[in-house]
Amino acid sequence: MQSSSRWPRRFQKLGLIGLLLLVLNFTYQIYYRYIAKSAYSSPCQLAKKSCIVAIAEGQRLEFDIQPRPFTNSQTSTFTVRLRHLNPATVTLTLTPVGQVSYAQTITMTALRSDHYAAKIQLDRVMPGHPQWLALVRLHTPTQTLTFPFKFTTEV
């Protein structure tokens, strides 16, 4: 009797260990795919110069904000320049860090096929907040590529 009741417990333990390994593998893959390779991993200081993200096979995205220094009360021009990328639309989401409910998404205006711009006054999104997250999204018929950029304004 004892030997037959021990087998189900062993299978339960093996099952739990297997499930734990699957969850850890899934977590690692999400981290590697979306966080480790994001713009946060490269040193990018928008307060000094534009940020360039190399994607693959000569493709790249350049993100810039003008004029410098950034303040919440002025109207800033956000620009995206692309190389070897042809999205149907480019959107920009601005979120105050820690305040997701105040996110604002706009479709950027195409100045040329590889150059997009939008003018925004950050005080209209959330007054007085110094830390921001900008998400640049390139929408194609088959996928959406997202590039995150953090920046700080002078309040």
CATH number of the structural domain spanning residue 82: 2.60.40.10
pLDDT per residue over 24-33, tens digit each? Answer: 777 766 655 5
The band of 39, judged by pLDDT with boundaries at 50, 70 and 90, is very low
Residues 79 and 148 in one domain: yes
Burial of 96 (0-12, 13-18, 19+ CB in 10 A): buried
Residue predicted with more confidence, 89 or 28: 89
Query: Each residue of 125-149: pLDDT tens digit?
Result: 676 778 888 999 999 888 899 999 9
Write down the pLDDT at residue 109.
Answer: 96
Residue 31's identity, in one-letter code, is Y
What is the domain range of residue 29? 1-37
Same domain, 102 and 116: yes
Tell me the DSSP string of 111-155.
EETTEEEEEEEGGGTSTT--EEEEEEEEE-SS-EEEEEEEEE-B-
